[in-house]
Amino acid sequence: MNHNDLGQIGIIGNGSWGTAITKILTDNGNTIHWWVRNAASVKYLQERNHNPNYLTSVRFLPETIKPTDNLEAVLKSCDTVIFSVPSAYAQGVIESVDKSLWQNKQIISAIKGILPDTNLLLNDYLVEQFNYDINKYVSIMGPCHAEEVADERLSYLTFSGLNDKLTTAVANRFNNTYINTTHNHDIWGAQFAAVLKNIYAIGAGMANTLDYGDNFLSVFITNCYREMYYFLKQHFEKVHPSNERPDFHTSAYLGDLLVTCYSLYSRNRTLGTMLGKGYSVKNAILEMSMVAEGYYAARGMQAISRKLDIQMPIANHIYQVLWENANASDTFLKLEKLLS
């Protein structure tokens, strides 16, 4: 299909971010085929025109959304599919229908994580498992909180894809009075930056609860940004030795890292705050009503960094708290000596 034409658009996922994306696109005059997890949520959306669980203040005109729990029906109806489910469940959703249904779709990823069973970004998983044409793939990155989109507070989105026409068309479809958009070729860099900032935000939440002040947190985030830069530089040299390089001058890097580490809307920061208070990882996750992507990302990045022999001491220490029962307070005493 012509990359300037997105055709019928489907959204996979009805969490906060999926709901925010649906709001943006319906506000811009698009009709959305919307896959939601269960029949009860479908019925609620049809009868009351808002999500029963996420961003409940956002109301939809009934003619702008077509909610269904039939994923196959959405895929058959749509030319462009926006994927917005937590990374921990993404592979299961993809594999729940025949793989041929994904083959010719233009896929826009709103996932800020890696698939935990494979430790791959969504685009790399699709290429490896489906022989997918990566020129039909675009990623959406922040900095952008769903809650501020719901309030129509000015937000910025970065779109990354290798096909300029498609990426531009997608970015233009999202642009409006409260969403500013930019676009580039930086698929791998922008997505890994989003994965890493969620891990670091868990650390920021722990630091805040452990009574470290703004001075320490500013140094912590600076060192996180440095580690992010180092990982991406090494990753591109070892895995993607091409002309494409991370575009560190975009807000998808430092901007997204800052807002995720500082904002009270950040679920990853919230998870870290609970761990700093002494919650066990299991109890903290049970207490939260939404998935903190950094939890799974920490394990995935640990595997990737070991495989590629890339040293990531900050991410490694946060991984130890999340997955190896390390004490948060003791971990930050160690981190104090690493930061500069």
CATH architecture of the domain with range 9-185: 3-Layer(aba) Sandwich (3.40)
pTM of the model: 0.91
H or E element in which residue 167 lies: helix 164-174
* 211 CB neighbour count, 10 Å cutoff: 9
Note the pLDDT of residue 242: 60
The DSSP result for 116-138, as a single string, is TTTTB-HHHHHHHHH---GGGEE
Cα torsion angle, 332, 207, 340, 318, sign: positive
Residues near 237 by beta carbon (within 8 Å), at least 6 away in sequence? none
Note the pLDDT of residue 340: 86
Q: Characterise 252 by phi-psi region: left (phi > 0), alpha (psi -120 to 50), beta (else).
A: alpha
CA distance 65 to 18: 13
309 φ, ψ to 5°?
A: 55, 55
CA 157 to each of CA 160, 295, 328: distance values in angstroms, whole numbers, following the listed order:
10, 24, 33
- Chosen CATH of 188-338 out of 1.10.1040.10, 3.40.50.300, 1.20.1050.10, 3.30.565.10: 1.10.1040.10
Q: Say yes or no: do domains 9-185 and 188-338 share a fold.
A: no
CA distance 325 to 275: 11
CA distance 274 to 250: 31
The DSSP result for 210-247, as a single string, is TT--HHHHHHHHHHHHHHHHHHHHHHHHHT--SS----
As a whole number, the mean pLDDT across the chain is: 91
Query: Do the beta carbons of residue 255 and residue 157 sit within 8 Å?
Result: no
> Buried b vs exposed e over 88-106: b needs ≥16 C-beta within 10 Å?
bebbebbeebeeeebeebb
CA distance 201 to 224: 10
Note the pLDDT of residue 245: 67
Residues near 26 by beta carbon (within 8 Å), at least 6 away in sequence? 32, 60, 61, 64, 65
16 φ, ψ to 5°?
A: -60, -45
The DSSP result for 6-65, as a single string, is --SEEEE--SHHHHHHHHHHHHTT--EEEE-S-HHHHHHHHHHSS-SSSSTT----GGGE
- 3-state SS class at 164: helix
160 φ, ψ to 5°?
A: -125, 130
Query: Do the beta carbons of residue 87 and residue 94 sit within 8 Å?
Result: no
Note the pLDDT of residue 243: 56
Domain boundaries along the sequence of the chain: 9-185, 188-338
Q: Is the peptide bond preceding residue 143 cis, with omega within 30 degrees of 0?
A: yes
Residues near 172 by beta carbon (within 8 Å), at least 6 away in sequence? 181
The DSSP result for 277-333, as a single string, is TT--HHHHHHH-SS--HHHHHHHHHHHHHHHHT---HHHHHHHHHHHS---HHHHHH
* 315 CB neighbour count, 10 Å cutoff: 27
Residues near 97 by beta carbon (within 8 Å), at least 6 away in sequence? 71, 72, 75
Please list the pLDDT of the chain residue by residue as tens digits (340 residues). Answer: 444 489 999 999 988 999 999 999 999 999 999 999 889 988 989 989 888 888 889 999 999 999 999 999 999 999 999 999 988 899 999 999 998 898 889 999 999 889 988 999 999 999 999 999 999 999 999 888 889 999 999 999 999 999 999 999 999 999 999 999 999 888 999 999 999 999 999 999 999 999 999 999 999 999 999 999 999 989 888 887 565 666 777 888 888 999 999 988 888 999 999 999 999 988 888 887 767 888 999 999 999 999 999 999 999 999 999 999 999 999 999 999 998 8
